[in-house]
Amino acid sequence: MAKQFPALDDKLMAFIAAQKIFFTATAPQTGRVNVSPRGTDFFRCLDAHTAAYLDLTGSGSETSAHLLEDGRMTIMFCSFDAQPLILRLYGQGRTVLPTDPEWAGLLAHFVPTPGQRQIVVLDIDLVQTSCAFGVPRFEFQTERPTLVDWSEKKGSKGLVDYRRDKNRVSIDGLPIRLA
């Protein structure tokens, strides 16, 4: 059965730390809903009401566009091992760019990584758990180095050019903040 909480507690933060994948969900007021998988090496619980993840340059930036327009965001963790659990974090999200005053303080929570383009911060207003009894079990093998390798090959200037050319607007034509 689903349970709701006003904030994260130590037990839920430990669950998050043990996961290897999370999913972000955002939507504009009109247009396409976006759901993206992410590796948890880049996720941090900053406190009971705030979470953040380091976002790397990719093929699109729907999350950034949606947060700029609307701010609503859900982050979901799902256990794929013996202990079933789904954990959703609901709240208002925002992006922090390398040019923003907050950047250095937030980046201190992460290992700097080639391709980093923004930090997504979620101000949590509701936490919900549910059973996950219908979720299959999977075994983690390893992280994929492909995105970091691609970013290293592009180099700093190549990444700036790529984001300018490919990450300027969402698939629905919404603007995206770029550093």
Domain extents in the chain:
3-131+143-166
Distance (Å, rounded) from C-alpha 146 to C-alpha 159? 15
Alpha-helical regions (H) of 34-145 = 62-69, 103-107
Task: Average the pLDDT over 154-177 and give the result.
Answer: 94
- Reported as a pLDDT band with limits 50, 70 and 90, residue 1 is confident
Task: Tell me the per-residue pLDDT of 109-122, one tens digit each, with 9 for 90 and over.
Answer: 999 999 999 999 99
The pLDDT confidence band at residue 82, using thresholds 50, 70 and 90, is: confident
Residue 89 and residue 23: Cα distance in Å, rounded? Answer: 10
Q: HSE-up of 175 (CA within 13 Å, CB side)?
A: 5
CATH of 3-131+143-166, one of 3.30.470.20, 3.30.413.10, 2.30.110.10, 1.20.1250.20: 2.30.110.10
> What is the tens place of the pLDDT at every residue in 114-147?
999 999 999 999 999 999 999 999 999 999 999 9
Q: What is the CA radius of gyration of the chain?
A: 16
109 CB-side CA count, 13 A: 19
